[in-house]
Amino acid sequence: MTTTTIEATLLTAQEVNNHNGHSQSVVSVENLRQQHAERYGVDVNQVSTVRLELHKLQEMGTLVDLDFHGGNMFTTRTTYSELGIPDGDMRRKRLKAGSKDLLPKKLIGRLRSIESRFRQSLEKYSYRIGVFGSYRWVPYTAYEKWQEEWDKLQAELIEWKKEVLRRYDEFVDAIADDFTQIAREAWQALLARRGGDTNFVLITKDNAEFSGDQEDLFVDYVVGRAVSKMPARKDVECGLYVDYRTAILLGQADVEADGLLADQLRHQREMETVQVWKERERIYAEQRERKQKLWAEEEEARLRLREKEAKINAMRQAELEHARQQMADMSSPLQEIFDSLRAQMFTDVSEILAGIKKNGRLVGRSAERVRNLVQTFRLLNAHEDGQLEMALDELQARLTTLQSSNEETKDANVTGVVNQLEQIKSLTHEAAVAIKRMGPSRFAHLEV
């Protein structure tokens, strides 16, 4: 089977316009198509050209990608222990434990509705253009209306948060009451499964143990875990918000040059006005009988132009301010990559150490995780973290020594591996703290 490859040569509107009306433009485009065909080994007829009027799109609208943060903080996973399902139960193999809401379903539903209406509003007043991925293009004609709806929804989200904060203690008490009942029902289901026999020990996922006569302790454990999942007041106030990213290409130079650009545009409009008056005088001299009609048409055109420019300028000013704020809040992507990989290493090393502590020795699974840890780091270490690389190389060497050791030296070599894991954990701790501080992410559960 032959695979057909189609390569699109992207030419900006300016590049095409520079050659319009000349045979040289045909030669230039054809040369580009021929180069791409030779590069990818396909027939030149399979190479298409796409004309992107980027400048026109930027002038007539803005690209927007909506971000709704913190919407899932009020829902968490349910454990099998909370449902009274012990280890070895077939339900653990075939069924998922599910999730639990930390707020009343009606309130959760209102939050989901607000998020949905934010996205629907953007879709209503924008276009999806394939080459811009998740960004949507909002034309200047719809920008003001979209911002009005954005402000209304923002106010509604703020009111929702105020209600949650006002009734916060009520919701915490409700979680405690509900999960007290859930835990007791789970315990009774466990007893019923065993025919009332209390001669058993229940071990939870986090290694908490409860004997058959410790129902109250189990209830306190379940309630405590449920209440601890409730986001703190500060998280509700600061971690739940909606924002949008703009893809208009505004750098620091654009922001600083904004004043100069305004002067240039004003001068250009003045020159255009002079030309309009000269042309009008010529027309008046040649066709004086049409004077009133032409005046009315030109005046109407100017009013439309001013209205259009006013809307465009208002949109650009709003986006310039938004860009300034985003640049002020922007963190270093390279530092984030550096901290993310170290945070991942911190998580894996912590779990490996916990497994060794639990088993009292380095079992085969833990040894395999150590090897995978080193391999994963080498695959992802594009930013050349030399300090962590040396620490992991030492860990690999100690693991190799352990695997070839005899019974007399095995304990000492296990201790060497554990000590090296502790050094790596200490080395990556600061990065794990930095990643957790950044907000909701896949590292938000880290115990640092």
Which residue is listed with tokens 């300090």?
387
**Beta-strand relationship, 48-52 and 99-101:** unpaired
Q: What are 10's two structure tokens?
A: 């992207």
Mean pLDDT over 423-438 rounds to: 86
* pLDDT for the residue numbered 89: 64
- With beta carbons less than 8 A apart as the criterion, state whether 149 and 121 touch: yes
Mean pLDDT over 229-238 rounds to: 89
Q: Which residue has the higher pLDDT, 429 or 14?
A: 429
* pLDDT for the residue numbered 57: 73
Neighbours of 344 (CB within 10 A): 20
Confidence bin at 444 (pLDDT 50/70/90): very low
pLDDT greater than 80 at residue 430: yes
Q: Which residue has the higher pLDDT, 289 or 416?
A: 416
Least reliable range by pLDDT among 83-92, 404-413, 420-429:
83-92
pLDDT digit string (tens) for 341-371? 889 999 999 988 888 888 877 777 778 888 8
* pLDDT for the residue numbered 252: 41
Q: What is the CA radius of gyration of the chain?
A: 33
pLDDT greater than 80 at residue 198: no
Confidence bin at 94 (pLDDT 50/70/90): low
Q: Which of 162-166, 270-274, 305-309, 443-447 has the highest mean pLDDT?
A: 162-166
Confidence bin at 73 (pLDDT 50/70/90): confident
pLDDT greater than 80 at residue 22: no
pLDDT greater than 50 at residue 274: yes
Confidence bin at 8 (pLDDT 50/70/90): very low
- With beta carbons less than 8 A apart as the criterion, state whether 398 and 417 touch: yes
* pLDDT for the residue numbered 151: 95
Confidence bin at 13 (pLDDT 50/70/90): very low
Which residue is listed with tokens 């006005």?
273
Confidence bin at 25 (pLDDT 50/70/90): very low
Q: Output the CA torsion sign for 436, 442, 445, 446.
A: negative
Which is nearest to 122 in space by CA: 246, 271, 299? Answer: 246
* pLDDT for the residue numbered 5: 34
| Mean model confidence pLDDT for the chain | 77
- With beta carbons less than 8 A apart as the criterion, state whether 67 and 43 touch: no
Least reliable range by pLDDT among 9-23, 176-190, 341-355:
9-23
Mean pLDDT over 60-76 rounds to: 85
* pLDDT for the residue numbered 257: 53
* pLDDT for the residue numbered 255: 46
pLDDT greater than 50 at residue 17: no
Tell me the domain boundaries of the chain.
8-52, 61-246, 333-437
Confidence bin at 325 (pLDDT 50/70/90): confident
- With beta carbons less than 8 A apart as the criterion, state whether 337 and 381 touch: no
pLDDT greater than 70 at residue 18: no
Amino acid at 123: E
* pLDDT for the residue numbered 273: 80
Confidence bin at 119 (pLDDT 50/70/90): very high
Confidence bin at 130 (pLDDT 50/70/90): confident
Share of the chain above pLDDT 90, in %: 16
